[in-house]
């Protein structure tokens, strides 16, 4: 795909068993009301709105996979039409559109809704937080799903995992980062809690629509930008206008995406269709993460062959950013009791998962042949 095609319409920014479905939701399918268990030949035609451009590589494709899977598993009783950002509603109005019933389902990232509740950000990504497998484990098996549902209940929404980008890269820079002082005055396109952390370091987080980032970096409106990973970054053409490609993506170590369902519409479905939606969501969640890993690993090799200067953030920079991250989270959780409850669950799981990773995966990686 060419960059000009990629920009067109750009917005901001294995099938599960019943046991896996119950684990994902934190509840039993048997909790559905009696009328919902009656299977009929009624056909359902739903709309899905997304924060992604139409046909957005991998991420948008996963949304279409979800819709196709639902149709196939339901024998055509349920069809879902997928709309890219701006086609039916603006990209960042997905949450409200599904909450209000304009569409029955949406796909986006929970940190987009921090203005609704700061707790939402913990279900997307936290700087120096959990990676993709750990975050998925917290939601599915560590109590995260129940908290997520409690958070969205007042908005007439039911959330489910809807993909994960995996660990991201640290971004494209037109200045070297050798110390924490090099972040002072740095104008960088970076969203969410990562932007708050950059601000504490003296930088200036800038919000730019996806289609504006390339031009902003090329003209010096911004000095740096993060996006996703090698595959999507290359589609944007950042390698042609930025000097350095930094790692690691401390700001987004494993960003989860989400499906949000209008609760009234979901509860009115027969139990088998509810189960199909949950199963299809988890299927597309796994599919997306697998394809992100595959595409990024392939593209990284190409970037290295092209001579892209890949740098690693100095340890002292990462250490100070960790300190700023703790300060940002402490300030955030001090303002809201439920946000603190979510964070305590998140952090408690992260500490156990990190301890396990240190004596398992980290030791394995340390002893891999180069």
Positive or negative torsion for Cα 123, 125, 127, 130: positive
Question: What does the alpha-carbon distance between residue 254 and residue 124 come to, in Å, rounded to a whole number?
Answer: 8
Please tell me the predicted confidence (pLDDT) of residue 28.
Answer: 42
Work out the pLDDT band at 157, boundaries 50, 70, 90: very high
Please tell me the predicted confidence (pLDDT) of residue 361.
Answer: 94
What's the pTM value of the predicted model, to 2 decimals? 0.88
Work out the pLDDT band at 208, boundaries 50, 70, 90: confident
Please tell me the predicted confidence (pLDDT) of residue 267.
Answer: 98
Tokens representing 323 are 């300190």
Among 229, 246, 192, 208, residue whose Cα is nearest residue 59? 229
Q: pLDDT by residue (tens digit) across 78-137?
A: 999 999 999 999 999 999 999 999 999 999 999 999 999 999 999 999 999 999 999 999
Helices assigned H by DSSP within 268-336: 271-305, 315-334
Work out the pLDDT band at 210, boundaries 50, 70, 90: confident
Q: pLDDT by residue (tens digit) across 41-79?
A: 899 999 999 999 888 999 999 999 999 999 999 999 999
Please tell me the predicted confidence (pLDDT) of residue 121.
Answer: 95
Please tell me the predicted confidence (pLDDT) of residue 17.
Answer: 33
Residues 59 and 73 sit within 8 Å (Cβ to Cβ): no
Answer yes or no: is pLDDT of 35 > 60. Answer: no
Distances (CA, A) of 51 to 31, 299, 325: 31, 24, 26
Among 40, 72, 35, 73, residue whose Cα is nearest residue 275? 73
Question: What does the alpha-carbon distance between residue 140 and residue 340 come to, in Å, rounded to a whole number?
Answer: 20
* Cβ neighbours, 10 Å, residue 85: 27
Residues 229 and 292 sit within 8 Å (Cβ to Cβ): yes
Please tell me the predicted confidence (pLDDT) of residue 251.
Answer: 97
Tokens representing 11 are 């917005």
Half-sphere exposure of 45 (CA within 13 A, CB side): 0
Question: Kind and range of the H or E element at 210?
Answer: helix 210-219
């Amino acid at each position: 795909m060419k960059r000009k095609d990629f920009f067109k319409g750009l917005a901001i920014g294995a099938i599960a068993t019943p046991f896996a479905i119950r684990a994902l939701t934190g509840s039993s399918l048997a909790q559905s009301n009696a009328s919902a268990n009656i299977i009929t030949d009624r056909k359902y035609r739903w709309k899905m709105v997304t924060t992604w451009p139409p046909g957005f590589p991998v991420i948008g494709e996963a949304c279409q996979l979800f819709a196709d899977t639902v149709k196939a598993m339901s024998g055509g009783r349920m069809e879902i039409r997928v709309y890219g950002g701006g086609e039916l509603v603006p990209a960042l109005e997905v949450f409200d559109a599904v909450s209000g019933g304009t569409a029955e389902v949406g796909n986006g990232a929970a940190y987009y809704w921090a203005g609704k509740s700061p707790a939402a950000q913990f279900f997307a990504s936290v700087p120096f937080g959990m990676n993709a497998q750990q975050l998925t484990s917290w939601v599915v098996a560590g109590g995260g799903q129940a908290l997520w549902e409690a958070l969205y209940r007042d908005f007439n929404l039911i959330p489910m995992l809807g993909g994960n980008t995996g660990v991201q890269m640290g971004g494209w820079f037109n200045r070297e980062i050798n110390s924490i002082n090099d972040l002072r005055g740095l104008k960088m396109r970076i969203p969410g809690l990562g932007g708050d952390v950059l601000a504490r370091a003296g930088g200036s987080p800038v919000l730019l629509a996806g289609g504006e980032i390339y031009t902003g970096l090329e003209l010096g409106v911004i000095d740096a930008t993060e996006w996703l990973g090698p595959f999507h970054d290359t589609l944007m053409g950042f390698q042609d206008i930025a000097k350095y490609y930094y790692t690691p993506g401390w700001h987004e170590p494993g960003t989860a995406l989400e499906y949000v369902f209008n609760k009234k519409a979901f509860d009115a479905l027969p139990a088998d269709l509810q189960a199909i939606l949950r199963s299809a969501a988890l299927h597309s969640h796994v599919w997306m993460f697998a394809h992100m890993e595959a595409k990024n690993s392939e593209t990284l090799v190409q970037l290295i062959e092209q001579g892209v200067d890949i740098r690693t953030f100095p340890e002292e920079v990462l250490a100070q950013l960790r300190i700023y991250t703790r300060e940002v989270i402490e300030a955030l959780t001090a303002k809201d009791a439920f946000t603190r409850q979510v964070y305590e669950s998140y952090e408690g799981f992260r500490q156990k998962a990190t301890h396990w990773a240190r004596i398992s995966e980290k030791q394995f990686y340390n002893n891999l042949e180069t």
